[in-house]
Amino acid sequence: MRRPIFGGNWKMHKTVKEAVSTVEDLKKEIGDIEGVEVVVFPPFTALDAVKAVLKETRIGLGAQNMYWEEKGAYTGEISPLMLLETGCRYVILGHSERRQYFGETNLGINKKLKAAFSLGLVPVVCVGERLEERKNGKAEEVVVVQLRECLEKVDLQKAQKLVIAYEPIWAIGTGETATPQQAQEMHRLIRGVLLELLGEELAASIRIQYGGSVKPENIKDLMRQSDIDGALVGGASLQASSFARIIRYKE
Ligand code: 13P
């Protein structure tokens, strides 16, 4: 059984004060929730303050990116060790906005993934196709290549921690969600690739989140699909009340 996992990716939103106030509200709403895993991904500057609020709750802390080296002359980068020190257990890798605006490649994401595994962080690796790629019938091919290259030669012993987020780029921040059927088709494809790369047991246990305009109104239908194991939520996670409604989708 895969435990559903819900992530709130705040992107470049919230000052420290705003971040603290949001997690204080979230703690009141779902601080004691059982049966699901919940993680917030604040901007780097708010990690420390958010960690203090999340102490003794079941809500996990993650970062939106990291570099693959532990230290060195890499101006502007943050290392996995620094994230661990701040109390992060999770890290998003290869979000489409990083691929699109900051030139991230599958090769770099693969290095980051190996670094996350070797230091014990839970990586959330993002894949997803652009609108033209979907229109041209290339969505499946694009996602398969992303997965193969991002997961190349990963340590199978550590791969049980892996989380994949399927985020079709045309659905991010647009209000246009993939239909539950479209999402399920891609999730099934992803699980097939995991099976080929990592074997049956791992493929069956790895969680695949859907991301792209997830809201309280559409989460139930998405979660009914057999290969959708949670969501990576952007806009609707900025308010504790709507994120909590997504997390409590069963009620
Ligand atoms: P939205 O939920 O705002 O569409 O963003 C999705 C996303 O990119 C999460 O990582």
Which pLDDT does position 41 carry in this prediction? 98
- Atom number in ligand 1 closest to CA 172: 4
Q: Residues 65-74: pLDDT tens digits?
A: 999 999 999 9
Across the chain, mean pLDDT equals 96
Measured in whole angstroms, the distance separating CA 158 from the mean position of its chain's CA atoms is 17
| Catalytic residue, candidates 129, 133, 167, 187 | 167
Confidence bin at 47 (pLDDT 50/70/90): very high
- Which residue in the list 37, 95, 104, 129 is annotated as catalytic? 95
The pLDDT tens digits for 28-37 are 999 788 999 9
Q: Which domains does the chain have, with CATH numbers?
A: 5-247 (3.20.20.70)
Active-site annotation holds for 13: no
Beta strands 163-166 and 37-41 are unpaired
How close is the Cα of 213 to the center of ligand 1, in Å?
6
Tokens of 191: 């699980």
Q: Is the C-beta atom of 232 inside 6 A of ligand 1?
A: yes
Query: Quick check: is 167 catalytic?
Result: yes
| SS3 of residue 83 by DSSP | helix
Give CA–CA dist 18/238, Å, rounded: 10
Cβ–Cβ < 8 Å for 170, 130? yes
From the CB of 54, is ligand 1 less than 6 Å away?
no
Give the separation between CA 157 and CA 128, rounded to whole angstroms: 26
Residue with tokens 């041209």: 136
pLDDT of 186 > 90? The answer is yes
DSSP 161: G
For residue 175, the ligand 1 atom closest to its alpha carbon is 4
| 164 CA distance to ligand 1 middle (Å) | 14
72 vs 51, 77, 93, 153, CA distance in Å?
A: 26, 9, 20, 25
